[in-house]
Each structure stands twice: as C-alpha cells, then as structure tokens.
Amino acid sequence: MELRHLRYFVAVVEERNITRAALRLHMAQPPLSRQIRQLEDLLGAQLFVRNSRLLELTDTGRFFYSHALQVLAQADQLESMTRRVSKVERGLSVGFVGSTLYGLLPKVIRRFRNEYSDVVLTLHELSTMDQIKALSDGTIDVGFGRIRYEDPKVRRIVLRDERMIVALPAGHALSESRQALSIRDLINDTLIIFPKAPRPSFADQVLAGFRDRGLQPKSIYETREVQIALGLVAAGEGISIVPGSIYGLKRDDVSYKELDGEDLTSPIIMSFRASDESEELSRMLDLIYRLYEEENIDHF
C-alpha cells in the first residue's frame, strides 16, 4: 500500500462522491475508481457500501479512515520537520518552560521577529525534559528551560542564574521584615511549589534549598503553575518561592521578599542540537546577550 492510496481514499470519503474527489485530486474518475478497488484488493476488505447511492463507509472503512488520517498527518509533519532540520525553510521553532515568560522571553521573541522578519518563528510550551526529546525529533530548534540535563546530542548554554524570591500573603508577619529572609524563616508555613509534574522541575530546585540546609517546610502543597501558586498565596494558603522575574507580576494581595543565600537561584538554560550551526541560532544567542547588556542583567 502506498501513501497515494490513502490520499485518494480520504478524498473520496470527504467528498462522498467519486467525481468530486477526482476533480479535487486533478485526475480522471476511472483511474481513481481503479485505485480505490486496488486498495480494497490489497487490504482484502470492503471499505465502501457498494449499493448505497452516496458513497458510505463500511465499519472497516470507518476504522481505516481514522487511521489513514493519522498516517497522512504524520507524513506531513515528517516532511515539514525534515525541511526545518535541513534548513531549506528559514524558521526557528522555540520550546520554553512557562516561567521563562515572566523573564525576558517575550522581549526576545518580539525583538527577534522585528529584526529577522524573514525567519518564521514558532513557539511551543514544553517542560525541559520534553524539550530534549523535541530537539532530537526536530519539533523544536531551541529550548529555554531550567533543568541541567546531560545529552551528548544537545548543547546547553546557561544564560544566567535567576535569583529566587519568596511570595507571601499581604500582611504576613514576614513581609514586615527589613532584611532579606532566610530559608529557616520559612519553615513554619505551608510551602506551595510548582510545577508538580513533570519532574524534576523548578519545584525540586526550591526543595533543594531546604534540603541543603537540613531543613524541611511544615507542609508542602504542589500545584501546576506559578499563577495558581500566587493565587493560593493570596488566599493565605501558604507561601511560595518563585523566580525573581515574577516580581514584575505585582498584585495587591501578595508581597515579595528577597531571599538570603547565594545558592538560591534557578538557571535559565538555552539548549539546541549540538550539530546545529545555523545562522538563526547564533542570531538568537547574540540578540539575548545584547538584551542582557541593555537591561543590565548579570549573565555568564
């Protein structure tokens, strides 16, 4: 069976009429009918109800149709991914973890689109682990994540270490403190961490801050993402440790305090295929470093 058999079959099903399907496929009706019969012979199964005026599918035909659609979609995806990997098409597909959206990512994307309008930029929200897989199968070309992951086929550049801060419900006793807080100050509250899956994640970097000091929070509440964590903090359910860039998300019912401890940081890591020497990638890296200079952000 060839892919063309699937395309012909899908066209006939969707048009429910062999003449219209032949028109859509830019071919004559007799060869199309022959191809459909040949497909049924190959499968040893009847796909259409023969005595119906409209072309109707048999049960087998319906099964075959849903799977044929999947195979054709995969074939199209393979074609576009391969084109991207080989750079026939000028494009850059970017994977990112949600929390980078509160940092410089929106500026990076806007600036890249302005400066390189000939490059088609696409965005995919993906965990760091999913980014590694997506890099190897060509779904993305570059990933921005927070977890250091070893893979010989993937190159990693730590762009900067972002300081963690603590989010407290407005009016919390600790929000009056003049000094930066320490992890020890936080052990009497419920700690709200995110994302709860997939792991490891930013949540584990926060927990390591306690573990490395031999401390443990009173209790832990795991949630999906930072916005939910902040909502729960606002509701007085606990406190949360968040990347420093979240500070920009000011809300009246949450106050932020700095944390004392050199190690209380989370890296922003750019990953890409080790074999990728494309111009688009070096443009992206160059643009990020220019932005860091402009914004006076400490970076490596």
Q: Does 95 help bind ligand BEZ (rule: CB under 6 A)?
A: no
> Considering the complex, what minimum distance in angstroms separates the CB of residue 162 from ligand BEZ?
7
Buried b (16+ CB within 10 A) or exposed e, 78-112: eeebeebbeeeeebbbbbbbbbbbbbbbeebbebb
Residue 156 in the binding site for ligand BEZ (CB under 6 A): no
Binding mask 279-298 for ligand BEZ (x = CB under 6 A): ---------x----------
Q: How many positions of this chain bind ligand BEZ (CB under 6 A)?
A: 10
Q: Which residues pair with 125 in a beta bridge?
A: 96
103 binds ligand BEZ (CB under 6 A): yes
CB atoms within 10 A of CB 263: 12
Q: Mask: binding to ligand BEZ, 122-151, rule CB under 6 A, as x and -?
A: ----------------------x-------
Helices (H) and strands (E) in the chain, counts: 9, 11
> Nearest approach, Cβ of 244 to ligand BEZ (angstroms)?
10
Beta-strand runs (E) in the chain? 48-49, 56-57, 91-96, 120-125, 142-145, 154-169, 190-193, 219-222, 239-243, 254-258, 265-273
CB of 110 to ligand BEZ, least distance (A): 12
**Applying CB under 6 A, which part among 12-20, 40-48, 102-110, 135-143 lies near ligand BEZ?**
102-110
Work out which of 13, 18, 105, 229 binds ligand BEZ, going by CB under 6 A. Answer: 105
* Tokens of residue 42, six digits: 């190959």
Beta bridge partners of 257: 166
The dihedral over CA atoms of 123, 141, 277, 73, expressed in degrees to the nearest 10, equals -110
Phi, psi angles (nearest 5°) of residue 181: -90, 155
**Is residue 169 a contact point for ligand BEZ (CB under 6 A)?**
no
- Answer for which of 6, 39, 104, 181 binds ligand BEZ (CB under 6 A) is 104
Q: Are 223 and 192 in contact (CB under 8 A)?
A: yes
Smallest gap from residue 123 Cβ to ligand BEZ (A): 11
Mark the segment that binds ligand BEZ (CB under 6 A) among 57-65, 99-107, 180-188, 192-200.
Answer: 99-107
Query: End-to-end alpha-carbon separation of the chain, Å?
Result: 54
CB of 99 to ligand BEZ, least distance (A): 9
As a residue count, the chain comes to 300
The answer for residues whose C-beta is within 8 angstroms of residue 130's C-beta and 6 or more apart is 95, 198
Residues 254-283 that bind ligand BEZ (CB under 6 A): 268
CB of 185 to ligand BEZ, least distance (A): 27
- CB of residue 239 vs ligand BEZ: minimum separation in angstroms? 23
159 touches ligand BEZ by CB under 6 A: yes
Residues that bind ligand BEZ (CB under 6 A): 100, 103-105, 108, 144, 159-160, 268, 288
